[in-house]
């Protein structure tokens, strides 16, 4: 396993497993893009009933012990305690909240008929050229009719602000790969389909075996090598090499 990874995406999906009765358990998933621009699933771990930062800490520590010495960006959701778990494992890592998750969370808090007007207001925040202009855009939104009508949306952006703002310093190519969760969501969607079609698994080991085989098929589809390099990831990697030059080029 590479010592340094430009970006690792982490997320959890839920599967039904027999444990005296059928229960839903989180499966922790880590997907990395290496210094050659190739994607790889770094591991799958079954947790207890309930996703938690403590288990994530165990997962991340295992990755470090397996040779992941440094990560430039760890993209994750806003689970409480998760940023601290990441920085405790890799002190120099940038913790980046999925921007698309903030947008989706905001729209879930608003009436559907208002989405068309809210989207440009939110876009002014996450496409801002600098942190200062993003702060002003959020302040303008807060004072606007929509901010007054939906204060919960304001809080949705204010709460993870320190994990959102690193995104604003990145060049467009890097912004693109941390804005979208398509890479890990496409894997999750495939894994959910496999587990849903099979019903519950008789054990944790059986669940992991099914998920592993599905990952192999997804990461290495017929006619491609494992970790096929998408063009947009290759462009992003070039920008990573400039933005994190002191770490990526020192390997």
User: Per-residue pLDDT tens for 100-153?
Assistant: 889 999 999 999 999 999 999 999 999 999 999 999 999 999 999 999 999 999
CATH number of 4-98+181-246: 3.30.420.10
Mean pLDDT by 10 residues, the chain (251 residues): 89 86 90 86 86 89 95 89 94 92 94 96 95 97 96 96 91 82 78 81 89 79 51 78 77 51
pLDDT at 107: 96
Could you give the CA distance from residue 13 to residue 79 in angstroms, rounded to a whole number?
14
What 3-state DSSP class applies to 241? helix
- Given this model, what pLDDT does residue 131 score? 95
Residue 242 Cα distances to 32, 73, 83, 128, 245, angstroms: 19, 14, 24, 21, 5
Give the pLDDT score at 145: 95
Burial of 67 (0-12, 13-18, 19+ CB in 10 A): exposed
Nearest to 174 by CA among 94, 107, 120, 89: 94
- For residue 225 the two structure tokens come to 């090598």
Q: Is 72 exposed, middle or buried (0-12, 13-18, 19+ CB in 10 A)?
A: buried
The answer to whether 26 and 82 are in contact (CB under 8 A) is no
Q: What is the pLDDT of residue 223?
A: 44
How far is it, in rounded angstroms, from Cα 135 to Cα 129?
Answer: 11
Other Cβ atoms within 10 Å of 89 Cβ, number: 21
The pLDDT, as a whole number, for residue 111 is: 97
Domain boundaries, the chain: 4-98+181-246, 101-162
Query: What DSSP designation does 93 have?
Result: P
Confidence (pLDDT) at 226: 45
């Amino acid at each position: 396993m590479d010592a340094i990874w430009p970006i690792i995406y982490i997320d959890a999906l839920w599967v039904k497993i027999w444990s005296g009765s059928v229960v839903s358990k989180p499966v922790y998933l880590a997907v990395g893009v290496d210094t050659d621009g190739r994607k790889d699933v770094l591991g799958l771990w079954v947790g207890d009933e309930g996703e938690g930062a403590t288990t994530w800490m165990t997962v991340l520590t295992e990755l470090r012990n397996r040779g992941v010495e440094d990560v430039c960006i760890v993209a994750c959701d806003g689970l409480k305690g998760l940023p601290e778990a990441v920085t405790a494992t890799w002190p120099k890592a940038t913790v980046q909240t999925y921007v698309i998750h903030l947008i989706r969370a905001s729209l879930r808090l608003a009436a559907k008929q208002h989405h068309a007007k809210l989207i440009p207001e939110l876009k002014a925040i996450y496409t801002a050229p600098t942190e200062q202009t993003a702060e002003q855009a959020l302040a303008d939104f807060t004072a606007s009719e929509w901010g007054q009508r939906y204060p919960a949306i304001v809080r949705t952006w204010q709460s993870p602000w320190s994990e959102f703002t690193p995104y604003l310093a990145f060049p467009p190519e890097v912004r693109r790969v941390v804005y979208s969760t398509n890479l890990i969501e496409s894997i999750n969607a495939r894994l959910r389909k496999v587990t849903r079609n099979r019903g519950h698994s008789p054990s944790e080991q059986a669940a992991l075996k099914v998920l592993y085989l599905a990952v192999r098929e997804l990461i290495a589809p017929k006619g491609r090598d494992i970790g096929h390099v998408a063009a947009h990831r290759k462009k992003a990697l070039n920008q990573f090499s400039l933005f994190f030059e002191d770490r990526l080029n020192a390997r």
